[in-house]
Structure 1
Amino acid sequence: MITLTDVQKDYSSSVQIGPVTTKIEAGGITALVGPNGAGKSTILTMIGRLLDIDSGQITVAGHDVVNTPSKAIARVLSVLRQENHFVTRLTVRQLVSFGRYPHSRGRLTLGDERFISEAIDFLNLTDLENRYLDQLSGGQRQRAYVAMVLAQQTDYVLLDEPLNNLDMQHAVQMMKQLRRAADELGRTIVIVLHDINFAAHYSDRILAMKNGKVVQHGTPAEMMQDHVLSEIFNTDVTVIDGPNGRLAVYY
């Protein structure tokens, strides 16, 4: 479980995130949604200890993320940021191998190589593992980064807008693979998404933020309601029943 207690980040006297107190259950996919500037990515990066908190406490599987040594946290929690500055002359396999650093410290064992291969295979990158990153499409490159965090073999995986710059086909493929990672590998995935329909279709829980605070937290069935979404996104939303579940229509 991920627990946030009175977590706050102050950017200025008028701009702050929190205080946020909430729990994210272990297992499955939890989607963080909300309008731009709501604080979704800030909360995710604070959970991942990539951004300091100004007050409060965050624990992941009982580990205080502020006080637990980095090596110990890296064996429990992996995080993929929104901005990936890739080195063009890295191959897919070389990139994915970085996920093993918390375990190998740069000296890959046969066991590490096996985890690297399993992550590459899981993301359907086997035929591309010796390609350089600048030879890949945006969707293929994004899959390589997700393979890297899966190779880290952590129970908790944080992903900040992994669908950015992906077309509809590749976005759907990515969400299907993340759903498989939660179901087949037993990972707890926390993901920032802009599209509420993707969140509703693929996630187990949705946590909605607005103005730096958590305003709703529930199952897709609980969240996919006209009045709930209209309040969160500050616009009129109608939820309709589609062939594969409920869909939000904005107008």
Structure 2
Amino acid sequence: MITLENVHKKYSNDVAIGPVSISIPAGGITALVGPNGAGKSTLLTMVGRLMGIDEGTISISGFDVASTASKDLAKIVSILRQENHFVTRLTVRQLVGFGRFPHSKGRLSAADELIVSRSIDFLDLGALEARYLDELSGGQRQRAYVAMVLAQDTEYVLLDEPLNNLDMAHSVQMMAHLRRAAEELGRTIVIVLHDINFAGHYADHICAVKHGKVVEFGTPAEIMRDDVLTRVFETPVTVIDGPRGPLAVYY
């Protein structure tokens, strides 16, 4: 479980996150949704300790994020931010191998190599593992970064807008991979999404953030409602019955 208790982060007199108190259950996918600038990515980076907090506490599986040693925290939670730009020219396999650093310290064992191979295969990258990242399409490159995070072999995985710059087909493919990771690998995935319909279809829980605060939290059935989504996104939303579940229509 990921627990935030009275978490605050203040940028200025007008911009702040919090107070946020919420428990995100272990297992499955929890989607963070909300308007642009709501604080979704900031919350995620604070949970992953890439940004400090001014007040409150954040714990993951009972470990205090602020006080747990980095080498130990890296074996509990992994995070992928939006900005993924390696200056060094790397192959897919080399990139995914970086995910093993908390365990190998840069010296990959046979067991590490096996986990790297499994992560590459899980994201259907076997045919591309010797290719350089700059030779890949955007969708292929994004899968490689997610494979790197999975190779870290943590129970908790934090993903900041992994569908960014992906077309519809690659977005569906990515969400299907993440759904499998949650179900088959037992990962707890917390993901920032812009598309509420992806959240409604693939997530187990949806956390709606607005003005730096959590304003709604529940199952897709509880969140995918006209009144809730209209209130969160401040635009008229109608939820209709789609062929595979509820769909939000904006107008």
TM-score grouping bracket, smaller chain normalisation:
over 0.9
State yes or no: 1:124 paired with 2:127. no
Counterpart for residue 200 of structure 2: 200
SS of aligned partner of 1:231 = helix
Q: Does 1:45 align with 2:45?
A: yes
Kindly report which structure 2 residues correspond to 1:27-42, keeping only aligned pairs within 5 A, or say none. 27-42=27-42
Give 1:89 shift: 1.6
Q: Which residue number corresponds to residue 243 of structure 2?
A: 243
Equivalent residue, structure 2, for 1:93: 93
Paired residue for 1:15? 15
Is the 1:33–1:40 Cα contact (8 Å) retained in structure 2? yes
Task: Spell out the pairing of 1:15-164 with structure 2 (5 A cutoff).
Answer: 15-87=15-87, 89-164=89-164
Preserved contact between residue 29 and residue 189 of structure 1 (Cα < 8 Å):
yes
- In percent, how many aligned pairs have the same letter? 72
Contact 1:157 1:190 in 2 (8 A): yes
Normalized against structure 2, the TM-score is what? 0.99
Q: Which amino acid aligns with 2:246?
A: R
Once the two structures are superposed, the pairs formed by residues 197-236 of structure 1 within 5 Å of their partners are 197-236=197-236
Structure 2 distance, partners of 1:148, 1:54, is 31
**Aligned partner of residue 36 in structure 1, secondary structure:** coil
CA distance in structure 2 between the partners assigned to 1:14 and 1:233 by the alignment: 20
Q: Report runs of 4+ in structure 1 exceeding 4 Å deviation.
A: none
1:83 is paired with a residue whose SS is coil
Q: What residue in structure 2 maps to residue 5 of structure 1?
A: 5
Residue type at the aligned position of 2:113: E
Please state whether the residue corresponding to 1:44 is helix, strand or coil.
Answer: helix
The Cα offsets for residues 198-251 of structure 1, whole Å up to 9 and x where unpaired, read as: 000000000000000000000000001100000000000000001010000001
Residue identity in the other structure for 1:234 = E
Counterpart code for 1:174: M
Q: Distance in 1 between matches of 2:86 and 2:169?
A: 23
RMSD of aligned Cα (Å): 0.6
Match of 2:132, as an amino acid? Y
TM-score (normalizing by structure 1): 0.99
Secondary structure of the residue aligned to 2:100 is helix
State the shift of 1:88 in Å.
5.6
Question: Which amino acid is the alignment partner of residue 191 of structure 1?
Answer: I
Deviation at 1:86, TM superposition (A): 2.4
> 1:121 is aligned with what amino acid?
D
Secondary structure at the aligned position of 1:229 is classed as: helix
Give the CA deviation at 1:13. 1.3
Q: Distance in 2 between matches of 1:169 and 1:223?
A: 25
Q: Which deviations, in whole Å up to 9, do the C-alpha atoms of 1:94-128 show, x marking residues without a partner?
A: 00000000000011100000000000000000000
> What's the CA shift for 1:72?
0.4
Tell me how many residue pairs correspond in the alignment.
251
User: Is contact 1:38-1:212 (8 Å) kept?
Assistant: yes
Aligned to 1:173: 173
Gaps of 5+ in 2: none
Q: Which amino acid aligns with 1:62?
A: G
Q: Unpaired runs of 5+ in structure 1? A: none
SS of the equivalent of 1:113 reads: helix
